[in-house]
Amino acid sequence: MAACMFLAQGLSLPRPANLSAFASSSSSSSSSLFNPLSHALPQPRARRRSLAPRGVVPVSCALRALVFDCDGVILESEHLHRQAYNDAFAHFGVRCSDRPLNWGLEFYDELQNRIGGGKPKMRWYFKEHGWPSSSVFEKPPESDEDRAKLIDTLQDWKTERYKDIIRSGTVKPRPGVLRLMDEAKAAGKKLAICSAATKSSVILSLENLIGMERFQGLDCFLAGDDVKEKKPDPSIYLNAAKKLGVSRTECLVVEDSVIGLQAATSAGMSCVISYTSSTAKQDFKEAIAIYPDLGNVRLKDLELLLQSVVAAK
């Protein structure tokens, strides 16, 4: 079986290298850019290590559906999203405290690991640091309607910019993802992708990274547009199980962040983590296995893993 950590067996996770080197390049290049400290972000509550994923009730140990997140799992995309947001802020002349808004690397890593979805990110940020001036509104918007218009305008432009980056052909899928998808389909498993991102941008990413044949062969595809609440709310995974026609305990979710992990376990699903450089230091105690990527992970590994977790209960 591929090297990983099985929490149910009590093994310790080898800690990744210090990620402090991933500092904001933008903050070092210009002192005029507004890049607040990450300690302002809401912090997750520390909890004691659990031997089993929260909310999972052992009904069946058979793996019938493999469910992937998109951003961070299929592609390492957060630096691309950050670039697109900063391009949108520059395009619309967004200024906070009379300084150009630019989200630095270290700050954005913290932000995207705490708050899911683009619009909620901006809404939280502007609520905490003040609503900005821009070419959309010369003065900071005060009404809920104007604030919603500003966020919608920024998000729409950011989404189109992100699509341009994906279309450039420079972005590749993460190791092992395509092989694992193909193994699952060949074995007759249900295959789903559930992303909190905007549907149009996810579709473009999937068409370019996994190909049209795999994309059209999905048994279920859900994006942030399809649910009222974003991850860590479990709605997207609960809806996926219903559409797939399988029980929640027969699903195995592949996520990269604690937000996605919380969504999966709150839905009563087991979850494995394929972490990225920006999520490696997060607390994944509720995952049943943790991998640096899926390069050495086989479908049989995941089937045996799910069986061992259920058998241990």
* Neighbour-count burial of 47, counting CB atoms closer than 10 A to its CB (0-12 exposed, 13-18 middle, 19+ buried): exposed
How far apart are alpha carbons 169 and 148 in whole angstroms?
Answer: 33
Which of these, 257, 190, 268, 195, lies nearest to 226 by C-alpha position? Answer: 195
Q: At residue 17, what are phi and psi to the nearest 5 degrees? A: -60, 155
Active-site residue among 69, 109, 233, 301? 69
> Checking DSSP bridges between strand 65-68 and strand 190-194, what pairing results, if any?
parallel
- For this structure, is 156 an active site residue? no
Query: Which conformational region is residue 117 in: left (phi greater than 0), alpha (psi within -120 to 50 degrees), or beta?
Result: left
- For this structure, is 71 an active site residue? yes
Active-site residue among 71, 109, 219, 256? 71
How far apart are alpha carbons 300 and 178 in whole angstroms?
Answer: 15
Place of tokens 């999972």: 56
> Checking DSSP bridges between strand 270-274 and strand 190-194, what pairing results, if any?
unpaired
How far apart are alpha carbons 74 and 72 in whole angstroms?
Answer: 6
Annotated active-site positions, please? 69, 71
